Amino acid sequence: MIYMADTADIEALKNLYEFFPLQGVTTNPTILKQAGQPLSVAIEQIKAIVGDGMIHVQVMSENAEDIVREAKKYKTYFDLGDNYYTKIPVTPQGYKAMSILKDAGINVTATAIFTQQQALVAAKAGADFVAPYVSRLDNISSHGIDVVGDIAKNIIEYELNTKVLAASFKTVDQIYRVSMKRAHSATISPELLMQLIKHPMTDISVKTFLEDGQDLYDISF
């Protein structure tokens, strides 16, 4: 499982990168709004934290030619190299731009996916990652986990060079279930990433170890 942080909260990212084996950060206009940072500031700060990790930057343009120009600009402006992924919503113009950008050697993440067919078309258009929204599907009485599973199954069966980047989570259980559905990666909020590694029984076990070993560990280090 590839873990990525779905945030532009710089302090939260600094904390997570101290210990969590993250492989990148995903952003979008809503995340930037929540962080209160313009793109030029947020991505530079994220870049300083993630190093060689992936950075996924969403475009705002709607026309394919503008999407291509915008995506190329961000790669050079931030000097991101091969760890840069341009996030493109799965619209007709978005699909067109995906193919053009892949031919130009730019990594693509297809986003705002709600169906297996949207993801499959994006994969055929050359997307490196496809990002289905789990909780948003559940909110409209659909089945986000099952959609992720269907997409992952397609990728395996058709031997596509694409990874499922599951997104939009509200619970740790959802993350567990998409991992069991063979999702390749997940982008997760800092709050849920912290919950992911916590368990009260772990805390109790550590407390017991400290109490039991108090006078027994007699080797200085």
Long-range CB contacts (within 8 A, 24+) of 214-220: none
Task: For 87, list phi and psi in degrees, rounded to 5.
Answer: -90, 125
CA dist 2 and 19 (Å) reads 15
Which of 19, 12, 17 is CA-nearest to residue 37? 12
Residue 207: both structure tokens together: 């407390």
User: Which active-site residues does the annotation give?
Assistant: 87
**Token code pair at residue 100:** 């053009």
The distance of Cα 209 from the centroid of its chain, to the nearest Å, equals 36
* CA 51 – CA 181 distance, rounded (Å): 30
CB 7 within 8 A of CB 168: no
Strand residues in 84-143 grouped as ranges (E): 84-89, 107-113, 129-132
21: three-class secondary structure by DSSP: coil
Question: Residue 162 has which token pair?
Answer: 């694409």
